[in-house]
Chains A and B, each alone.
Chain A
Amino acid sequence: MSKEEYLDQVIKSLKVADKIKYRILSDIETELECLLEEGMDMSEIIKLKGMPSSVAYSFNEAYSGTPIARQYYNQKRYRDISVVVILLSFLFFIISIVTGFVNFESVIDGGCSGPTVIIESSNYVLISAIAITSLVIGVICLIVGVASLFYHNKLRSKI
Chain B
Amino acid sequence: MSIEQQFKKGSMDMILLSLVNRRKTYGYEILQTLKTSSNLFKNIKEGTIYPVLYRLEDDGLIINNMEIVNGRKKKTYTITELGRSTLNDLIEFWRVYKLEIDKCLGDYNE
Q: Which residues of A does B touch, CB under 8 Å? A: 20, 23-24, 26-31, 33-37, 55, 57-63
Number of interface residues of B (CB under 8 A): 19
B78 to chain A, nearest CB (A): 14
B8: Cβ under 8 A from any A Cβ: no
Q: Output the least CB separation between B30 and chain A (Å).
A: 10
Contact A62–B26 (Cβ < 8 Å): no
CA of A27 to CA of B53 in the docked complex: distance in angstroms? 11
A31–B72 touching, CB < 8 Å: no
Q: With a CB–CB cut-off of 8 A, which chain B residues contact A31?
A: 27-28, 31, 46
Main secondary structure of the interface of A (DSSP, over half): helix
> Given A55-B46, A58-B45, A62-B48, A30 and B74 touching (CB < 8 A)?
yes
Among residues of B, the one whose C-beta sits closest to the C-beta of A28 is: B46
Q: In the bound complex, do residue B47 and residue A59 qualify as a contact, i.e. CB atoms below 8 Å apart? A: yes
Given the complex, which residues of B lie within 8 Å of A37, measured CB to CB?
Answer: 70, 72
Give chain B's interface residues, CB within 8 Å of chain A.
Answer: 26-29, 31, 45-48, 50-51, 53-54, 66, 70, 72-75
Closest A residue to B48 by CB, please name it: A62
- Chain B residues near A60: list those with CB within 8 A: 47
Asked whether B51 lies within 8 Å of A59 as measured between CB atoms, the reply is yes
The docked-state distance in angstroms from the alpha carbon of A104 to that of B69 is 70
Listed A/B pairs (20) with beta-carbon separation below 8 Å: A23-B54, A24-B50, A27-B26, A27-B50, A30-B26, A30-B28, A31-B31, A33-B72, A34-B28, A36-B72, A37-B70, A37-B72, A55-B46, A55-B47, A58-B47, A59-B46, A59-B51, A62-B47, A62-B50, A62-B51
Pick the most buried of B28, B31, B66, B72: most chain A CB atoms within 10 A of its CB: B28
